[in-house]
Amino acid sequence: MKLKFTKMHGAGNDFVVIDAINQHIDFGPEEWRRLADRRFGVGADQILVVERASSPGVDFRYRIFNNDGGEVEQCGNGSRAFVRFVVDKGLTRERSIRVETMSGIIAPRLEEDGKVTVDMGAPRLDPAGVPFDSAGLVGRPQGVDTLWPLALTVGGAEQEVLVSVVSMGNPHAVQVVDDVDSAPVAETGPLIEHHPRFPKRVNAGYMQVVDRHHIRLRVFERGAGETLACGTGACAAAVAGIRRGLLDSPVRVSARGGELSIAWAGDGQPVYLSGPAVTVFEGEIEI
């Protein structure tokens, strides 16, 4: 079939966005994976599929597929691209939208300056909520957060990495590093992503604290590898840093692809993510 799509990015985290309201899409994981492939398809970190909502009081539903074709619960940068898309396509006249995702309702808002702020909902930090298997592990209390030791085998040598586990609807394991540029993201990112203690795999965050209101962040994403920015990863890192007493809200997050801003008022409160959403080109592909 001929498929119309829009190529977008949020701070360098790139997407293929599909209008599934005006196009009938009946793809499986293989088609999503081929569409996201950077050689055999259009290429993107994630595919975003825009549908009419099925629940009352909600405007849209959007589904998220990683580069590996797997459907996932949440995408922070994607939620901003989604808003830019539905406004630019005239699918809504609203600027504040309630949208249903696999992990619940989020509320993005298109600001006058073109940035988008998203109420990403409240984080979960209990292992069952992530999901994370903490059986037999002794957590290391750090402030009001707990650090969990992950045993990794890197180059044949055993090492232990201490991570905060946070769910933003999707799972994150965040560690503090001295310098993100020299952090072993390529070596340990895949090992953390596939660690047996994360039954649904996990996004691996590497956070460098610049000051109490600023971090540098790299994320090896579940199902996509290292991306230039990760919205939910930025939320998870800011939450972990605030709970550990290392950061104060708001937190400026410098990713390799651009700047994001996170605000969080503490336990049980929603995390607000702000940042850019850019349309790169429109296209059509036979798939």
Among 7, 9, 197, 222, binds ligand API (CB under 6 A): 222
Nearest to ligand API of 78, 276 (CB atom):
78
What mask of x and - would describe binding to ligand API in positions 68 to 107, judged by CB under 6 A?
A: ----x--xxxx-----------------------------
- Which of positions 228-257 make contact with ligand API (CB under 6 A)? 230-232
193 Cβ partners below 8 Å, 6+ apart? Answer: 201, 202, 203, 204, 220, 221, 222
Among 41, 205, 223, 257, binds ligand API (CB under 6 A): 223
Nearest to ligand API of 63, 244 (CB atom):
63
Q: Is 221 annotated as a binding residue?
A: yes
Query: How does 162-185 read in b/e, with b if 16+ C-beta sit within 10 Å?
Result: ebbbbbbbbbbbbbbbeebeebeb
The dihedral through the CA atoms of 11, 60, 271, 132 has a sign that is: negative
Name the nearest CA neighbour of 96 among 114, 81, 75, 117: 117
Q: Is 67 annotated as a binding residue?
A: no
254: which strand partners? 216, 259
Name the nearest CA neighbour of 146 among 89, 14, 132: 132
Interface with ligand API, residue 66, by CB under 6 A: yes
Helices (H) and strands (E) in the chain, counts: 4, 19
What mask of x and - would describe binding to ligand API in positions 7 to 46, judged by CB under 6 A?
A: ------x-------------------------------xx
What mask of x and - would describe binding to ligand API in positions 110 to 129, judged by CB under 6 A?
A: --------------------
Query: What separation in angstroms does the CA of 129 have from each of 85, 120, 198?
Result: 31, 16, 11
Of 230, 237, 238, 246, catalytic: 230
Nearest to ligand API of 45, 100 (CB atom):
45
Active site residue 235: no
283 Cβ partners below 8 Å, 6+ apart? Answer: 4, 5, 6, 7, 42
What amino acid positions are annotated as catalytic residues? 75, 230
- Binding-site ranges for ligand API (CB under 6 A): 13, 45-46, 64, 66, 72, 75-78, 170, 203, 221-224, 227, 230-232
